[in-house]
Structure 1
Amino acid sequence: MAVSTSAEEPIPVSQVSRLIGGWIDRLGAVWVEGQITQLSRRPGAGVVFLTLRDPSHDVSLTVTCFRQVFEPVADVVGEGARVVVRAKPEWYAPRGQLSLRAAEIRPVGVGELLARLEQLKRRLTAEGLFAPERKRPLPFLPQLVGLVCGRASAAERDVLENARLRWPAVSFEVRNVAVQGVRAVPQVIGAIRELDAMDEVDVIVVARGGGSVEDLLPFSDEEVVRAVAAARTPVVSAIGHEPDSPLLDLVADLRASTPTDAAKKVVPDVGEEQARIQQLRERSLRALRGFLDREERGLSAALHRPSILRPQRMVEDREAEVAALLERGRRTFRHLLDRADSELSHTRARVLALSPKATLERGYAVLQRADGTAVRTPEEVEPEEELRARVAEGDFTVRRTVSGPS
């Protein structure tokens, strides 16, 4: 809609901005291709900010999107990546700024491929195929190693030569397969299942040299991953070089960075094992000698104890203790007897001192009537009554005579 203006009747900047915003709002969503030059994801923020640039014309636009739109491609899209964005133009009137509100982001080329792989990875992770508790330990010394690799490839040569250098007695069951192209997936799956069905195969190594992301795609195929997950035999993944990480690395029981590294991890080194055995023998010998030395010192110390050198000393010590206790008992008993004898003598002396006989011995006499009662007063005696007089040395009869008044 045209707006009539003149030098005498201009319109404000804010109105121009609103008019531009109205025109832009009538535009529909468009697909835009460009390169990400800036990427801002603030922790906790619900909006992601991008700067999308056209390298051929050096033109840039700001792109905003909600986090849930960006999360599906967050692991494969970064600064410098080429993307295709479905977005609707938006005009921010207060600043007069044009931006795009993205509703969908798709990586271009390798990025798109990586995005599909990331989605497959998340789905298989949710199923538990990559869980650590599913990993099985490798046998210490496998008698037969299954090897899946390309025919006459460097990976096959690296695994065979390095493994036999480490352990010359190791044997291999080799299955040559296509390691890229349309035939790679069915041939790799068939080789893995065939080797897994052989009871004498102790471990399976899947090896391939380095290559591009597209070359290594067969080892991220879902069917290959599920075949490895279903295998009863432990599987070692040795695909590409250190930076390469196909999905086979995640489902395998052990990941080797290179085919050479796989050979080192599958079989032990005979020289190292011999050295370890020698070290263990020396440690065992030192431990045994130390044990014998300690026991010998303990036995020697026991033999030099007084109780062993002169065992009768214990009896002699006890005999002396018994003799001392016996003598002590005798002294105590004699002391008790002497004290009792002294107390008895004192008691006897007191009894004798208080007895009537002692009184009689001092010249006194006791007069008794015929019935044995003692005479205490003269009135108790009848005239001419016979009495018995007891003195210290015997007794005699006396008679009371009546005399005239005095």
Structure 2
Amino acid sequence: MIKTLGLLPLRGASDFSIHNLPYGILSTPNISKRVGVAIGDWVIDMPRLADLGAFGGIDFDKNVFRQSYINDFMAVGKAVRVAVRHVLQQIFEDPCSPFKVHATDFLILQKDVVMHIPVKVGDYTDFYSSEQHAFNVGAMFRDPKNALLPNWKHLPVAYHGRASSIFVSGTNFHRPKGQMCPDETQPPFFGPTKRLDIELEIATIIGKGNEIGDAISVDEAEDHVFGFVLFNDWSARDIQKWEYVPLGPFLAKNFFSSVSPWVVTIEALEPFRAPANEQIPEVLPYLKEQNRQNFDITLEVYLTPHSSFNTRNSLFKLCSSNFKNMYWTVNQQIAHHTINGCNLNIGDMLASGTISGKEPDSFGSLLELTWGGKNPITLPDGSVRKFIEDYDTITIKGFAQKGDVRVGFGEVKTTLLN
């Protein structure tokens, strides 16, 4: 095991290099749910490492690592989180670290663990913060010359979603049902959706709340962020079309959302900051940032068609986008969310909304990629897709890379059942 430790990916191609150290919740047949940290192909059993005294110099209750969610660890605050990160990096980078002789006590192969949803989600908000996505949808269903609604460039549009139906990667679901009315001259009917779609998103995990009535400043918003996960906001477009007026989506989106099991901390993403695009017209003062930045994170969506369910190399890339495409930043989302005194809580998820770039192959949903089903996609096996078919599998991957520094999110993978 000591030799194996020397081969752990401190740098290079692994999603889970020493620069990352994301948090998740693991279990095995012999180990109850607890906090783990990914490193290469391994998971650090944080309670076991704490029992060895690794964090003895940091003042916090080590039992936070024995919980079924990372919420309690998030609650100890940024200073402790950063200190724990430094200890972990020192253990794996220092060839003389005394903890290396105990590696068999605290390292478990990822293939031997079951991963669970990492946070207890109290509330979930879904934003609509990619200008290209909003433009595409507006051009498709309204007027291309007036694709964006009048409010869109003045505030981060969002709606309150359903937290109870957010599940971790590897959890599959059945095709949802609801009312549809493709021809409004005819009565609506009930049945399974025929236009099931994916939405490529990243969700912000709130690690520090605010009191009711206290707004969070746009320039202090990052202090409330623990980290980020990949997020697939599954959407039933035909149900959505019939129900969304006047209050927005309901059954079209509350049936299921998928998240990746590893939460990448905001500290790990520090090297990948990128200037955000200028906002025209100028936003109101409470949304105006002194240092306006996004994160340069490559995002990819793959489809494994049901006809290739048991074959190798059957992943087909649907699109590749980037988190830096966001018009409204994470800071602006948080500031707007709380400007009326709304209280955010530890574990809340704020999804970005579909992340689409300007190129057609960077559109983050099948609605856009097929332009409402008018331009079907032909897959390598000869089948075509307008939307998701039964037993298709969708895999979303994400990573940031700069030189030999790589920070990855792993993947969120979900199969649609019939």
Indicate whether the TM-score tops 0.5.
no
- Which structure dedicates a bigger proportion of its chain to helix? 1
- Which structure dedicates a bigger proportion of its chain to strand? 2
Larger Rg: 1
Please tell me the TM-score bracket, short chain as reference: under 0.3
Higher RCO (Cα < 8 Å, 6 or more apart): 2
Task: Give the TM-score, by structure 1 length.
Answer: 0.20
